[in-house]
Amino acid sequence: MKGSICSATGVDIMEDWEDVDIQLVSDGLDATPTELHAAFELSGDHLNEVRDRHTMMLVTSGELPEEHMAKIAPERRLDWVVEELNGRRHTNGLSIPMHGTDVGSINLTKGSIDGHSILRLNIGNFERKLPLPSEVESFEATMENGILQIRW
C-alpha cells in the first residue's frame, strides 16, 4: 500500500486499495429443507438398520400366508407368481417374458415340496418357486422370441 500524509490535515491519503475477502458464516438457519433432509439421510446410520429390519419383517410376515396357500391351493400361488413376472397362464402351461435375458443365465429346476411339484426359476440372484398344478406329470420349457414357454 502506498500512501502519503496530507500536510494540512495530517491524515493519510490512500492511493491503492486492496480487496478484503468476507467469509460467510452460517448458523444453519439459511439451509433449505431439501439440504437438511439430505444431511439427515447421510448422517443417519441407524436408518439403514431400520430399513433392513423392516424389509426382513415384511418378508417374514409374508412367508406364513404363502406357505399356507401353497399347501391348500398351489395353483393360486402359481397365478400370483406368474402375474408378478408379467407372464400369462394358459390351459396347458404358462409364458414369462424374458426379453434381454441370456438363456445361459436362466436356470430352471424341478423339485418337490410337501408332495407338490415345484419349478424353481433362477436368474442370477433372482429366484421364484412356481408350484405346478397337481395333475401335471411332465412338462417342457422353451425360449422363443425372448419368452420362456413352459408347457405341460
Does residue 31 belong to any structural domain of this protein? no
**pLDDT of res. 26:** 65
| In a shared domain, residues 53 and 110 | no
Exposed/middle/buried for 135, CB within 10 Å: 0-12, 13-18, 19+? exposed
C-alpha cell at 85: 413376472
Spell out the per-residue pLDDT of the chain, length 152, in tens. 455 555 556 566 667 888 888 776 666 677 788 887 887 777 767 777 888 888 888 777 776 676 676 667 666 778 888 888 899 999 899 999 998 888 889 999 998 877 778 899 999 888 888 888 878 888 899 999 899 999 99
Does residue 95 belong to any structural domain of this protein? yes
What is the Cα–Cα distance from 97 to 42, expressed in whole angstroms?
38
User: CATH number for the domain including 117?
Assistant: 2.60.40.790
Q: Domain boundary residue among 72, 92, 122? A: 72
| In a shared domain, residues 97 and 124 | yes
